[in-house]
Structure 1
Amino acid sequence: MLSQLSPAIRQYLVVTGNYWAFTLTDGALRMLVVLHFHALGYSPLEIALLFLFYEIFGVITNLVGGWLGAHLGLNRTMNIGLGLQIVALAMLLVPAAMLSVPWVMAAQALSGIAKDLNKMSAKSSIKLLVPADAQGALYKLVALLTGSKNALKGVGFFLGGALLMALGFAGAIAAMAGALTLVWLASLVLLKKDLGKAKSKPKFRDIFSKSRAINILSAARLCLFGARDVWFVVALPVFLSQTLGWDHWQTGGFLALWVIGYGLVQALAPRITGRASGRVPDGRTALTWATLLSAVPVLIALGLGTTFDPAVLLIAGLLLFGVLFAINSSLHSYLIVSLARADGVSLDVGFYYMANAMGRLLGTLLSGWVFQAAGLGASGLAACLWISAALLLLTALISLALPQASD
């Protein structure tokens, strides 16, 4: 069956399979770390600091990783990412007494490098596997890859909570490291050796984008993901656990279902945003959907100040936020792949995802600090939501400068 497919499609399947396997472990690891260290008595700010190097090294990796991909090929950067994730997992298998904050931060730094090498390689390779005049097909494939990845990240959240309950922290980490090692060995054999190598070798200074459109889109992406993570990374799971009294299964399961649904909407975004009528997104589309999204955290924050049941409010608010955020994210993912240069595509994609990582870093730090400073309960979560709304309005304003179809 696979032998009858074109080489490009077979490579797409290999890239997607790698991305899926990595995403499962990445989502599970994040949930394991949040829940395990919260149970050990770590404060929200301390938990946020555990992810500090994950996000910082994600910023650096996307800049340098794009340059490496153009020089070495995307097959190598993807396989390096898988290998580093295995090492990061192995670092967490040390005796519990050695799991200090600096050690876990170092393991998270490796995991951050691994994640962004893997993602940059996967997103960049699609540009090379689709003809330049097939923008509709490109949008569909990008949405499918992005949506399925996030659905599996949700499964990873659930997997993390389930493995923590069933196997304990060390057992869960060992199981994931073993499974990912098998995927890595298969990837070494199946990925093409020259995928993504630039014809003209870029200089190191070329890691910074010279495209006005990509710089604007990157700034919008930074604000978009900062707006999500400022309340989603630390404040929300700790609020569900500490204030609402949810256990690991409930917290992990709910966030898993949310991210799964979010991924499914991402995969369907081309139909929602007009591809069925022959249109592909532009700057005007990004502006419209960012503006709609900015209203949701405002409504949730206002609701937390009333007598409305906070559990019902959060579930309903998260569902609406998830749908609108998924569409925004899918639009951006298409726009960067569409606007990137074909030769050395990983440079443009790497720069863009550097901005994505900076947004996550900003959101992660604010999520722990603001939630703790504003009172840990409903007041802390509401403060995070107001910051989210401000960042989303900034996303919409920046999107005004994106290229439109008539440009």
Structure 2
Amino acid sequence: MSSARTSQSSVRNYAVVTLAYWADTLADGAIRTLVLFYFYNLGYSAWQVASLFLLYEFFGIVTNLLGGYLGARFGLKSTLFLGLGTQLAALAMLGAMPAAGLTVVWVMASQALSGIAKDMTKMSSKSAVKLVAGDGEGRLYKWVAVLTGSKNALKGVGFFLGGLLLSLIGFQASVWTLFGVVAAALVAAAVLMKGGLGAANKKAKFSHLFSNQRSINLLSLARLFLFGARDVWFVVALPVFLRGVLGWPFWQAGGFLALWVIGYGFVQASAPALMRGGRENSSGSGPDGRTALWLAIVLAVVPATIALCLRQGGDASLVIVSGLILFGVVFALNSAVHSYLILSYADHDKVAMNVGLYYMANAGGRLAGTVLSGWLYEVGLRQGERGGMILCLLASSVLVAVTVGLSLALPRRTLLREAAS
């Protein structure tokens, strides 16, 4: 009976963590769109806009590194509340400052806090899956896919919400609206969560963050290049291209970004069903390194093809919309497989630290992609108004090619079984 109550309590707390994570994700996506379009509309260049997010991504690396350690040592409940509280501080910085005082340095500092908040709540929620779902491959794969997919769908809603709020009520009022969403999530989590989530391990050492498992290290490095390949065109180049070259209004550009991320999220959530119920290898169990390899090979071709079509003078709107929908489907499947593999590889008693290392690499890829997105777009504009987007897409293809090379060395199912035996 005691065991059943403990299980019910864990599931309840996991649901609370997930709902809080969803609220923070919604706010995070909206903030990003608000900041991007607000400052681009003020006349900032692509590189200047990209610079606003550098500390956001940098502190994502730091947070995932330290967050995994904190989650292991003090429990995931503490990291969840720390993340939500930090997001409120980031929003208050933007909302309390008059428009004239929103300098680059001030916004970068606020985005740094927002990056810390986002990754702290993400690490808490992703680690909680392993604790509740256990080590059963089919159940774990489905739970991870649903969580990751729903998170990205809500982030997409956030992108649209940010553009819509900016159009309707302006920057400051939008920020305070998002503050209310996160505050409500924090209060609800404090009231509804009973007990803790995961046992605190006072013996956890910072040195344990760096895994001695080759599979985890390889997957983390592959994740770095995979997300660099997405953000090199998505973070700055795409919204600037839609607004500056194609002339789309805020709500339309934000709406496209939203629909792309929502669709990407639904594909992630449906990955087990789309990929034959997750039976992608000869053993009939969850996906393995071979699955990640073939998905990366297909993905590497897509951005290069989009760039070629733009170069040949194809209709820009049609090429971008159709091409990036295809990219999103393949990328979502690849990302879902990665998210399953890290939890499959992770030790149960070190899951928070293993996940922290993995998402530290994820944040590193986003940082590299953000820097390259702003810089390459500016460089490419010397070759014409399409040149910036073309150069970013070619860079994306190169980064995915590196992911392909790393995925060649990921363990196959037989190797995982040998390691476990």
TM-score (norm 2): 0.93
Match of 2:116 among 113, 118, 126: 113
User: Which stretch shows the higher mean deviation, 367-376 or 198-207?
Assistant: 198-207
Residues 197 and 344 in structure 1, CA contact (< 8 A), matched pair in contact too = no
What is residue 303 of structure 1 aligned with on the other side?
A: 309
What is residue 338 of structure 1 aligned with on the other side?
A: 344
Deviation at 1:191, TM superposition (A): 2.9
What is residue 316 of structure 1 aligned with on the other side?
A: 322
Cα shift readout 1:91-142 (whole Å, capped 9, x = no counterpart): 001111210000000000000110110111110011000132x210000000
What is residue 147 of structure 1 aligned with on the other side?
A: 149
Q: Which amino acid aligns with 2:375?
A: W
What is residue 399 of structure 1 aligned with on the other side?
A: 407
Deviation at 1:8, TM superposition (A): 3.1
Whole-Å separation in 1 of the counterparts to 2:338 and 2:413 = 15
Residues 44 and 235 in structure 1, CA contact (< 8 A), matched pair in contact too = yes
Matched positions, count: 403
Match of 2:225 among 217, 223, 226: 223
Q: Which amino acid aligns with 2:109?
A: A
User: Which stretch shows the higher mean deviation, 54-63 or 207-216?
Assistant: 207-216
What is residue 102 of structure 2 aligned with on the other side?
A: 99
Cα shift readout 1:23-63 (whole Å, capped 9, x = no counterpart): 10000000001100000111110110100000000001100
SS in 2 for 1:344: helix
Whole-Å separation in 2 of the counterparts to 1:65 and 1:192 = 22
Q: Percent identity?
A: 56
What is residue 418 of structure 2 aligned with on the other side?
A: none
Cα shift readout 1:336-359 (whole Å, capped 9, x = no counterpart): 111111113110000000000000
SS in 2 for 1:27: helix
Match of 2:287 among 267, 281, 290: 281
User: Which stretch shows the higher mean deviation, 174-183 or 144-153?
Assistant: 174-183
Q: Which amino acid aligns with 2:189?
A: S
Residues 198 and 344 in structure 1, CA contact (< 8 A), matched pair in contact too = no
What is residue 290 of structure 1 aligned with on the other side?
A: 296
Deviation at 1:270, TM superposition (A): 0.9
Whole-Å separation in 2 of the counterparts to 1:82 and 1:126 = 19
Whole-Å separation in 2 of the counterparts to 1:122 and 1:343 = 16
SS in 2 for 1:375: helix
Matched, 1:13 2:46: no
What is residue 233 of structure 1 aligned with on the other side?
A: 235
What is residue 378 of structure 1 aligned with on the other side?
A: 386
Deviation at 1:198, TM superposition (A): 4.4
What is residue 396 of structure 2 aligned with on the other side?
A: 388
Residues 23 and 152 in structure 1, CA contact (< 8 A), matched pair in contact too = yes
SS in 2 for 1:92: helix
Question: Which ranges of structure 2 fall in alignment gaps of 5 or more residues?
Answer: 416-421
SS in 1 for 2:412: coil
SS in 2 for 1:246: coil
Deviation at 1:362, TM superposition (A): 0.1
Residues 59 and 358 in structure 1, CA contact (< 8 A), matched pair in contact too = yes
What is residue 131 of structure 1 aligned with on the other side?
A: 134
What is residue 89 of structure 1 aligned with on the other side?
A: 91
Whole-Å separation in 2 of the counterparts to 1:61 and 1:231 = 24
Deviation at 1:86, TM superposition (A): 0.7
What is residue 72 of structure 1 aligned with on the other side?
A: 74
Whole-Å separation in 2 of the counterparts to 1:232 and 1:210 = 33
Deviation at 1:386, TM superposition (A): 0.6
User: Which stretch shows the higher mean deviation, 366-375 or 195-204?
Assistant: 195-204
Deviation at 1:188, TM superposition (A): 1.9
Residues 71 and 78 in structure 2, CA contact (< 8 A), matched pair in contact too = yes
What is residue 31 of structure 1 aligned with on the other side?
A: 33
Whole-Å separation in 1 of the counterparts to 2:89 and 2:52 = 17
SS in 2 for 1:307: coil
User: Which stretch shows the higher mean deviation, 375-384 or 345-354?
Assistant: 375-384
Cα shift readout 1:213-251 (whole Å, capped 9, x = no counterpart): 100000000000000000000000000000000000110
Residues 57 and 366 in structure 2, CA contact (< 8 A), matched pair in contact too = yes
Whole-Å separation in 1 of the counterparts to 2:115 and 2:242 = 26
Distance of aligned partners of 1:145 and 1:119 in 2 relative to their CA distance in 1, 3 Å threshold:
same
The 5 Å alignment of 1:337-356 reads 337-356=343-362
Q: Which amino acid aligns with 1:334?
A: Y
What is residue 174 of structure 1 aligned with on the other side?
A: 176
User: Which stretch shows the higher mean deviation, 373-382 or 148-157?
Assistant: 373-382
Q: Which amino acid aligns with 1:160?
A: G
Residues 301 and 397 in structure 2, CA contact (< 8 A), matched pair in contact too = yes
Whole-Å separation in 2 of the counterparts to 1:115 and 1:259 = 17
Residues 137 and 285 in structure 2, CA contact (< 8 A), matched pair in contact too = no
What is residue 335 of structure 2 aligned with on the other side?
A: 329
Deviation at 1:10, TM superposition (A): 1.7
What is residue 251 of structure 1 aligned with on the other side?
A: 253
TM-score (norm 1): 0.97
Cα shift readout 1:133-179 (whole Å, capped 9, x = no counterpart): x2100000000000000000000000000100111000000011012
Distance of aligned partners of 1:276 and 1:54 in 2 relative to their CA distance in 1, 3 Å threshold:
closer
Whole-Å separation in 2 of the counterparts to 1:276 and 1:403 = 17
Matched, 1:62 2:68: no
What is residue 22 of structure 1 aligned with on the other side?
A: 24
The 5 Å alignment of 1:252-271 reads 252-271=254-273
Q: Which amino acid aligns with 1:100?
A: T
Deviation at 1:209, TM superposition (A): 1.7
Deviation at 1:210, TM superposition (A): 1.6
Whole-Å separation in 2 of the counterparts to 1:201 and 1:116 = 23
Question: Which ranges of structure 1 fall in alignment gaps of 5 or more residues?
Answer: none
Residues 196 and 346 in structure 1, CA contact (< 8 A), matched pair in contact too = no
Q: CA RMSD of the aligned region, Å?
A: 1.4
